[in-house]
Amino acid sequence: MQYLTNIMLEILKLFYQIGGHNYGLAIIWLTVAVNMALYPLTVSSVLQMSAMQRVQPRMKELQEKHKSDPKKLQQEMMDLYKVEKVNPIGGCLPMILKIPFFIALFFALQSKEFLAIIGTGESFLWIGNIAKADPFFILPVLIGVTTWLSQKSMPSSNDQSQAMMMKMMPIVITFISYNFPAGVQIYWIVSNLMGWAQQSYILKFKAKRS
């Protein structure tokens, strides 16, 4: 993890130099770069989620038909995935790949080297020090709002328990993130906005063609 943290710190320094000589802006440029680099995987992920939504009625039929025969149900489900070219776990890949960047940034902003670089603090907008939490709790609220916005752009599920979990997620994330460094909160917000924009575009222009 230290190795990844050091790499993240060097990338932040690069974006600081070319992106406005402010580490708040550097984090924004970093977030945009990460999301653009993962865009091809995001396309695949969103299309897979859309495909899963499309085959849900057929999946429910199979579950009802073979509810007393789990082995037969599993085989029928696998055949359905194969025919419809659906990968049940394909929608999770971009989210999984973003986690190391998030963790590395979290530790980079807390590292002794970064704290030595910014001295008394690197300000951004109303935030006096991006290495500390937003004292006005505005960023955690924006994280919750943008999480909700990103969710709204994703293919919806007919599963009631999953739908309820999705409704609660923005609230839970708001409370989880309130004590994170402001730089990490900025990353989270911009990543959510990028996700919303990319998902909306993919579903509007690409999903219809597939």
Is residue 75 a part of any domain in this protein?
no
Residue 17: which H helix or E strand, with range? helix 2-18
Is residue 109 a part of any domain in this protein?
yes
Is residue 80 a part of any domain in this protein?
no
As for how many domains the chain has, the answer is 1
What would the pLDDT profile of 117-176 be if each residue is shown by its tens digit?
887 778 899 999 998 899 999 999 999 999 998 888 776 655 666 667 778 889 999 999
Is 79 a residue whose pLDDT tops 90? Answer: no
Is residue 82 a part of any domain in this protein?
no
Is residue 66 a part of any domain in this protein?
no
Domain that holds residue 23: 2-52+90-206
Is residue 114 a part of any domain in this protein?
yes
> What does the pLDDT read at residue 109?
83
Is residue 131 a part of any domain in this protein?
yes
What would the pLDDT profile of 147-159 be if each residue is shown by its tens digit?
998 888 776 655 6
What are the CA-CA distances from residue 96 to residues 25, 90, 101, 102, 117 (Å)? 24, 11, 10, 10, 30
Is residue 70 a part of any domain in this protein?
no
